[in-house]
Chains A and B, each alone.
Chain A
Amino acid sequence: MSKFKKKANTSQDIPTSALPDIIFMLLFFFMVTTVLREVTINVKQRIPEATQLRKLERKSLVSYLYVGEPKKTDQWGSEPRIQANDVFIEPKDVVLWVSQEKDKLNEVERDQITIALKVDKDAKRGLISDIELQLRKANARKLLYSTIQEVPQ
Protein backbone atom coordinates (compact mmCIF):
# COMPACT_ATOMS: atom_id res chain seq x y z
CA MET A 1 0.00 0.00 0.00
CA SER A 2 2.72 2.34 0.88
CA LYS A 3 3.67 2.29 -2.71
CA PHE A 4 0.56 4.19 -3.70
CA LYS A 5 0.59 6.66 -0.86
CA LYS A 6 3.76 8.13 -2.08
CA LYS A 7 3.20 11.67 -3.09
CA ALA A 8 5.08 13.49 -5.74
CA ASN A 9 7.08 16.36 -4.49
CA THR A 10 5.99 18.76 -7.18
CA SER A 11 3.73 21.69 -6.56
CA GLN A 12 0.20 21.35 -7.87
CA ASP A 13 -0.54 25.06 -8.32
CA ILE A 14 -1.33 26.32 -11.75
CA PRO A 15 0.79 29.38 -12.28
CA THR A 16 -1.56 32.34 -12.67
CA SER A 17 1.01 35.04 -13.06
CA ALA A 18 0.32 35.23 -16.81
CA LEU A 19 -3.42 35.68 -16.31
CA PRO A 20 -3.37 39.50 -16.37
CA ASP A 21 -1.42 39.39 -19.60
CA ILE A 22 -3.97 37.12 -21.23
CA ILE A 23 -6.82 39.32 -20.08
CA PHE A 24 -4.99 42.39 -21.33
CA MET A 25 -4.59 40.79 -24.72
CA LEU A 26 -8.32 40.15 -24.91
CA LEU A 27 -8.90 43.69 -23.73
CA PHE A 28 -6.73 45.18 -26.44
CA PHE A 29 -8.46 43.05 -29.06
CA PHE A 30 -11.84 44.43 -28.07
CA MET A 31 -10.51 47.97 -27.75
CA VAL A 32 -9.17 47.83 -31.27
CA THR A 33 -12.24 46.25 -32.88
CA THR A 34 -14.75 48.41 -31.05
CA VAL A 35 -16.62 50.97 -33.05
CA LEU A 36 -18.58 53.15 -30.73
CA ARG A 37 -21.99 53.69 -32.14
CA GLU A 38 -22.50 57.22 -33.35
CA VAL A 39 -26.24 57.26 -33.74
CA THR A 40 -28.99 55.90 -31.60
CA ILE A 41 -31.21 53.79 -33.75
CA ASN A 42 -34.83 54.62 -33.22
CA VAL A 43 -36.34 52.06 -35.54
CA LYS A 44 -36.73 48.33 -35.20
CA GLN A 45 -33.94 46.48 -36.91
CA ARG A 46 -34.49 42.83 -37.64
CA ILE A 47 -32.04 42.45 -40.48
CA PRO A 48 -32.93 39.76 -43.03
CA GLU A 49 -30.60 36.88 -43.78
CA ALA A 50 -28.97 36.13 -47.10
CA THR A 51 -26.18 33.98 -48.45
CA GLN A 52 -24.56 36.02 -51.21
CA LEU A 53 -22.99 38.70 -49.07
CA ARG A 54 -20.53 41.22 -50.38
CA LYS A 55 -18.17 43.08 -48.15
CA LEU A 56 -17.55 46.77 -48.45
CA GLU A 57 -13.90 47.61 -48.64
CA ARG A 58 -13.94 51.33 -48.05
CA LYS A 59 -15.88 52.16 -44.96
CA SER A 60 -15.39 55.89 -45.33
CA LEU A 61 -17.52 55.82 -48.47
CA VAL A 62 -20.51 54.25 -46.76
CA SER A 63 -23.50 56.14 -45.41
CA TYR A 64 -26.28 54.45 -43.54
CA LEU A 65 -30.03 54.76 -43.72
CA TYR A 66 -32.15 52.87 -41.23
CA VAL A 67 -35.65 51.84 -42.18
CA GLY A 68 -38.19 50.18 -39.96
CA GLU A 69 -41.08 50.61 -37.58
CA PRO A 70 -40.27 53.27 -34.95
CA LYS A 71 -39.49 51.93 -31.52
CA LYS A 72 -41.66 54.55 -29.87
CA THR A 73 -44.87 53.73 -31.67
CA ASP A 74 -47.03 55.99 -29.50
CA GLN A 75 -45.00 58.98 -30.58
CA TRP A 76 -44.17 58.18 -34.18
CA GLY A 77 -46.81 55.70 -35.26
CA SER A 78 -46.26 52.18 -36.48
CA GLU A 79 -45.63 52.89 -40.15
CA PRO A 80 -42.00 52.18 -41.11
CA ARG A 81 -39.92 55.35 -41.18
CA ILE A 82 -36.53 56.31 -42.56
CA GLN A 83 -33.89 57.35 -40.10
CA ALA A 84 -30.84 59.27 -41.24
CA ASN A 85 -28.31 60.22 -38.58
CA ASP A 86 -30.55 61.02 -35.64
CA VAL A 87 -33.74 62.17 -37.27
CA PHE A 88 -36.61 60.69 -39.20
CA ILE A 89 -36.78 61.91 -42.78
CA GLU A 90 -39.25 61.60 -45.60
CA PRO A 91 -38.29 59.96 -48.93
CA LYS A 92 -38.13 63.36 -50.61
CA ASP A 93 -35.46 64.51 -48.15
CA VAL A 94 -33.13 61.71 -49.22
CA VAL A 95 -31.65 63.78 -52.04
CA LEU A 96 -30.64 66.51 -49.62
CA TRP A 97 -29.25 63.99 -47.17
CA VAL A 98 -27.17 62.34 -49.90
CA SER A 99 -25.69 65.66 -50.95
CA GLN A 100 -24.78 66.39 -47.34
CA GLU A 101 -23.12 63.00 -47.08
CA LYS A 102 -21.29 63.58 -50.33
CA ASP A 103 -19.96 66.88 -49.04
CA LYS A 104 -18.16 64.99 -46.30
CA LEU A 105 -16.15 63.05 -48.86
CA ASN A 106 -13.22 64.01 -51.00
CA GLU A 107 -14.22 65.57 -54.27
CA VAL A 108 -12.77 62.76 -56.34
CA GLU A 109 -14.59 60.09 -54.39
CA ARG A 110 -18.03 61.61 -54.33
CA ASP A 111 -19.53 59.48 -57.07
CA GLN A 112 -18.32 56.32 -55.34
CA ILE A 113 -20.54 56.86 -52.32
CA THR A 114 -22.31 53.71 -51.19
CA ILE A 115 -25.59 53.81 -49.36
CA ALA A 116 -26.17 50.97 -46.94
CA LEU A 117 -29.85 50.44 -46.33
CA LYS A 118 -30.50 48.73 -43.04
CA VAL A 119 -34.03 47.62 -43.55
CA ASP A 120 -36.27 45.81 -41.13
CA LYS A 121 -37.66 42.50 -42.39
CA ASP A 122 -41.24 43.71 -42.25
CA ALA A 123 -40.72 46.99 -44.06
CA LYS A 124 -42.57 47.16 -47.33
CA ARG A 125 -41.03 47.42 -50.77
CA GLY A 126 -43.06 50.53 -51.54
CA LEU A 127 -41.09 52.68 -49.13
CA ILE A 128 -37.77 51.13 -50.14
CA SER A 129 -38.43 51.77 -53.81
CA ASP A 130 -39.26 55.40 -53.01
CA ILE A 131 -35.83 55.67 -51.40
CA GLU A 132 -34.22 53.97 -54.39
CA LEU A 133 -35.84 56.45 -56.76
CA GLN A 134 -34.51 59.37 -54.71
CA LEU A 135 -31.05 57.81 -54.61
CA ARG A 136 -31.11 57.57 -58.38
CA LYS A 137 -32.04 61.23 -58.55
CA ALA A 138 -29.21 62.07 -56.17
CA ASN A 139 -26.80 60.04 -58.30
CA ALA A 140 -25.81 57.75 -55.44
CA ARG A 141 -26.08 54.55 -57.37
CA LYS A 142 -24.24 52.02 -55.29
CA LEU A 143 -26.70 50.44 -52.94
CA LEU A 144 -26.18 47.81 -50.30
CA TYR A 145 -29.03 46.04 -48.57
CA SER A 146 -27.55 45.13 -45.22
CA THR A 147 -28.07 41.48 -44.45
CA ILE A 148 -26.56 38.95 -42.14
CA GLN A 149 -25.01 35.68 -43.18
CA GLU A 150 -27.53 32.90 -43.34
CA VAL A 151 -26.37 29.84 -41.47
CA PRO A 152 -26.73 26.81 -43.72
CA GLN A 153 -28.93 24.12 -42.24
Chain B
Amino acid sequence: MARNKGRKNPEINSSSMADIAFLLLIFFLVTTTIANDKGLLIPLPPDPDQMEDIDIKIPERNLFKIQINSADKMLVEGEPFTADTKEIKQMIKDFVNNNGRDPLSSDNPKKAIVSLKTDRGTTQAKFIEVLDNVQAAYYEMYADRAGVTNKQWRKIIDNLKEPDNKRLYDIGRGVKDGEVEFPMNISIAEPTKIGG
Protein backbone atom coordinates (compact mmCIF):
# COMPACT_ATOMS: atom_id res chain seq x y z
CA MET B 1 0.00 0.00 0.00
CA ALA B 2 2.89 2.24 0.54
CA ARG B 3 3.62 2.12 -3.16
CA ASN B 4 0.46 3.99 -3.97
CA LYS B 5 1.48 6.87 -1.86
CA GLY B 6 1.81 10.13 -3.65
CA ARG B 7 0.00 8.85 -6.76
CA LYS B 8 -3.21 10.26 -8.06
CA ASN B 9 -6.31 8.16 -8.38
CA PRO B 10 -5.92 6.13 -11.57
CA GLU B 11 -8.68 7.20 -13.92
CA ILE B 12 -9.42 6.32 -17.48
CA ASN B 13 -10.13 9.37 -19.55
CA SER B 14 -13.68 8.85 -20.70
CA SER B 15 -14.31 12.11 -22.45
CA SER B 16 -14.08 10.46 -25.86
CA MET B 17 -16.67 7.87 -24.91
CA ALA B 18 -19.42 10.05 -26.35
CA ASP B 19 -17.54 10.29 -29.64
CA ILE B 20 -17.18 6.54 -29.88
CA ALA B 21 -20.85 6.10 -29.13
CA PHE B 22 -21.69 8.72 -31.74
CA LEU B 23 -19.71 6.84 -34.36
CA LEU B 24 -21.56 3.62 -33.61
CA LEU B 25 -24.85 5.49 -33.56
CA ILE B 26 -24.24 7.01 -36.96
CA PHE B 27 -23.31 3.63 -38.37
CA PHE B 28 -26.59 2.14 -37.25
CA LEU B 29 -28.55 5.18 -38.36
CA VAL B 30 -27.17 4.80 -41.85
CA THR B 31 -27.66 1.06 -42.15
CA THR B 32 -31.13 1.00 -40.63
CA THR B 33 -34.12 0.41 -42.83
CA ILE B 34 -37.14 0.42 -40.66
CA ALA B 35 -39.14 -2.53 -41.89
CA ASN B 36 -42.28 -1.56 -43.70
CA ASP B 37 -44.76 -4.36 -43.33
CA LYS B 38 -47.85 -2.34 -43.96
CA GLY B 39 -50.14 -2.26 -46.91
CA LEU B 40 -53.48 -3.20 -48.35
CA LEU B 41 -54.38 -6.76 -47.48
CA ILE B 42 -56.60 -8.68 -49.83
CA PRO B 43 -57.59 -12.33 -49.92
CA LEU B 44 -57.24 -14.03 -53.28
CA PRO B 45 -59.88 -16.40 -54.66
CA PRO B 46 -58.98 -20.10 -55.01
CA ASP B 47 -57.13 -21.64 -57.92
CA PRO B 48 -59.24 -21.09 -61.07
CA ASP B 49 -58.39 -24.58 -62.36
CA GLN B 50 -59.98 -26.22 -59.38
CA MET B 51 -63.06 -24.07 -59.23
CA GLU B 52 -66.16 -25.51 -60.74
CA ASP B 53 -67.43 -23.52 -63.61
CA ILE B 54 -70.79 -22.41 -62.35
CA ASP B 55 -72.45 -19.58 -64.11
CA ILE B 56 -73.86 -17.50 -61.33
CA LYS B 57 -76.22 -14.80 -62.40
CA ILE B 58 -75.75 -11.72 -60.31
CA PRO B 59 -78.49 -9.17 -60.79
CA GLU B 60 -77.21 -5.92 -62.20
CA ARG B 61 -78.49 -3.97 -59.22
CA ASN B 62 -76.23 -5.87 -56.83
CA LEU B 63 -73.08 -4.99 -58.73
CA PHE B 64 -71.18 -1.77 -58.25
CA LYS B 65 -68.90 -1.67 -61.24
CA ILE B 66 -65.67 0.25 -61.33
CA GLN B 67 -63.63 0.01 -64.50
CA ILE B 68 -60.25 1.58 -65.15
CA ASN B 69 -58.72 1.72 -68.59
CA SER B 70 -55.09 1.80 -69.64
CA ALA B 71 -55.01 5.60 -69.48
CA ASP B 72 -56.09 5.43 -65.80
CA LYS B 73 -59.52 6.84 -66.66
CA MET B 74 -62.46 5.46 -64.74
CA LEU B 75 -65.95 4.28 -65.47
CA VAL B 76 -68.19 3.95 -62.43
CA GLU B 77 -71.49 2.17 -62.98
CA GLY B 78 -71.00 2.71 -66.72
CA GLU B 79 -70.58 6.47 -66.43
CA PRO B 80 -67.30 8.31 -66.90
CA PHE B 81 -66.00 9.36 -63.53
CA THR B 82 -63.80 12.42 -63.35
CA ALA B 83 -64.34 13.58 -59.77
CA ASP B 84 -61.93 12.95 -56.93
CA THR B 85 -61.49 9.21 -56.30
CA LYS B 86 -62.37 9.80 -52.66
CA GLU B 87 -65.98 10.34 -53.67
CA ILE B 88 -66.27 6.68 -54.56
CA LYS B 89 -66.24 5.96 -50.84
CA GLN B 90 -69.59 7.61 -50.22
CA MET B 91 -71.06 6.09 -53.38
CA ILE B 92 -70.13 2.61 -52.19
CA LYS B 93 -71.54 3.23 -48.74
CA ASP B 94 -74.84 4.35 -50.24
CA PHE B 95 -74.82 1.36 -52.56
CA VAL B 96 -74.12 -1.24 -49.87
CA ASN B 97 -76.50 0.23 -47.32
CA ASN B 98 -79.33 0.57 -49.81
CA ASN B 99 -81.29 -2.45 -48.48
CA GLY B 100 -83.66 -2.44 -51.44
CA ARG B 101 -84.87 1.14 -51.16
CA ASP B 102 -83.59 2.32 -54.52
CA PRO B 103 -84.58 -0.25 -57.16
CA LEU B 104 -81.36 0.42 -59.05
CA SER B 105 -79.09 -0.14 -56.06
CA SER B 106 -78.31 -3.24 -54.00
CA ASP B 107 -80.80 -5.57 -52.28
CA ASN B 108 -78.82 -5.88 -49.07
CA PRO B 109 -75.20 -5.73 -47.89
CA LYS B 110 -74.85 -9.48 -48.14
CA LYS B 111 -75.60 -9.53 -51.84
CA ALA B 112 -73.84 -6.30 -52.74
CA ILE B 113 -70.62 -6.76 -54.68
CA VAL B 114 -68.10 -4.14 -55.61
CA SER B 115 -66.48 -5.18 -58.84
CA LEU B 116 -63.14 -3.69 -59.74
CA LYS B 117 -61.92 -4.28 -63.25
CA THR B 118 -58.74 -2.90 -64.72
CA ASP B 119 -56.91 -3.08 -67.98
CA ARG B 120 -53.52 -4.70 -68.34
CA GLY B 121 -52.12 -1.24 -68.92
CA THR B 122 -53.57 0.36 -65.80
CA THR B 123 -50.83 1.50 -63.45
CA GLN B 124 -50.55 -0.01 -60.02
CA ALA B 125 -50.69 3.47 -58.49
CA LYS B 126 -54.19 4.10 -59.84
CA PHE B 127 -55.33 0.64 -58.86
CA ILE B 128 -54.07 1.10 -55.29
CA GLU B 129 -55.77 4.49 -55.09
CA VAL B 130 -59.14 3.01 -56.05
CA LEU B 131 -58.77 -0.15 -53.97
CA ASP B 132 -57.81 2.00 -51.00
CA ASN B 133 -61.05 3.95 -51.27
CA VAL B 134 -63.16 0.84 -51.74
CA GLN B 135 -61.63 -0.74 -48.66
CA ALA B 136 -62.01 2.52 -46.75
CA ALA B 137 -65.75 2.46 -47.45
CA TYR B 138 -66.07 -1.03 -46.04
CA TYR B 139 -63.79 -0.46 -43.04
CA GLU B 140 -65.73 2.67 -42.13
CA MET B 141 -69.05 0.85 -42.34
CA TYR B 142 -67.72 -1.97 -40.18
CA ALA B 143 -66.25 0.47 -37.69
CA ASP B 144 -69.59 2.27 -37.41
CA ARG B 145 -71.36 -1.00 -36.72
CA ALA B 146 -68.85 -1.99 -34.07
CA GLY B 147 -68.82 1.50 -32.54
CA VAL B 148 -65.13 2.16 -33.03
CA THR B 149 -63.11 4.36 -35.35
CA ASN B 150 -61.76 3.14 -38.65
CA LYS B 151 -58.22 3.08 -37.28
CA GLN B 152 -59.27 1.08 -34.23
CA TRP B 153 -61.20 -1.32 -36.44
CA ARG B 154 -58.16 -2.07 -38.56
CA LYS B 155 -56.13 -2.66 -35.42
CA ILE B 156 -58.80 -5.01 -34.13
CA ILE B 157 -58.91 -7.15 -37.26
CA ASP B 158 -55.14 -7.36 -37.36
CA ASN B 159 -55.17 -9.08 -34.01
CA LEU B 160 -58.08 -11.49 -33.84
CA LYS B 161 -56.53 -13.76 -31.24
CA GLU B 162 -57.89 -11.59 -28.46
CA PRO B 163 -61.42 -12.74 -27.60
CA ASP B 164 -62.57 -9.14 -27.20
CA ASN B 165 -61.40 -8.27 -30.69
CA LYS B 166 -63.04 -11.36 -32.10
CA ARG B 167 -66.32 -10.33 -30.53
CA LEU B 168 -66.18 -6.85 -32.05
CA TYR B 169 -65.15 -8.37 -35.37
CA ASP B 170 -68.28 -10.52 -35.37
CA ILE B 171 -70.45 -7.53 -34.47
CA GLY B 172 -68.97 -5.47 -37.27
CA ARG B 173 -69.51 -8.15 -39.87
CA GLY B 174 -72.94 -9.04 -38.49
CA VAL B 175 -72.27 -12.73 -37.91
CA LYS B 176 -75.56 -14.53 -37.45
CA ASP B 177 -75.72 -18.34 -37.09
CA GLY B 178 -72.25 -18.65 -38.53
CA GLU B 179 -73.12 -16.58 -41.57
CA VAL B 180 -71.72 -13.19 -42.31
CA GLU B 181 -74.47 -10.68 -42.99
CA PHE B 182 -72.10 -7.93 -44.01
CA PRO B 183 -69.27 -9.45 -46.02
CA MET B 184 -66.59 -7.44 -47.76
CA ASN B 185 -67.43 -8.39 -51.30
CA ILE B 186 -64.71 -6.87 -53.39
CA SER B 187 -64.20 -8.66 -56.66
CA ILE B 188 -61.04 -7.93 -58.56
CA ALA B 189 -61.60 -9.17 -62.07
CA GLU B 190 -58.92 -10.30 -64.43
CA PRO B 191 -57.67 -7.37 -66.51
CA THR B 192 -58.79 -6.80 -70.05
CA LYS B 193 -56.25 -6.69 -72.84
CA ILE B 194 -57.60 -3.81 -74.85
CA GLY B 195 -55.14 -1.07 -74.18
CA GLY B 196 -52.13 -3.24 -73.30
- Which residues in A have some Cβ–Cβ distance to B below 8 Å? 16, 19-20, 23-24, 26-27, 30-31, 33-37, 47-57, 59, 62, 114, 116, 119-126, 128-129, 132-133, 135-137, 139-149
Contact = CB atoms under 8 A, between A and B. Distances in A.
Which 3 pairs across A and B sit closest by C-beta, in order of nearness?
A126-B120, A30-B28, A23-B21
In the complex, which of the residues A125, A136, A139, A143 has the most CB atoms of chain B within 10 Å of its own CB atom?
A: A125
A94 to B, nearest CB: 12
B47 A139 contact: yes
Contacts of A119: 124
Q: Interface SS of chain A: helix, strand, loop or mixed?
A: mixed
A36 B30 CA distance: 11
B25 to A, nearest CB: 5
Contacts of A47: 36
Interface of B: 14, 17-18, 21-22, 24-25, 28-29, 31-49, 118-125, 127-129, 131-132, 135-136, 139, 150, 154-155, 157-159, 188, 190-191, 193, 196
Contacts of A123: 123-124
Contacts, number: 167
B42 A143 contact: yes
Nearest to A80: B124
Nearest to A142: B43
Contacts of B39: 50, 53-54, 116, 144-147
Nearest to A137: B47
Given A19-B18, A33-B32, A122-B125, A143 B41 contact: yes
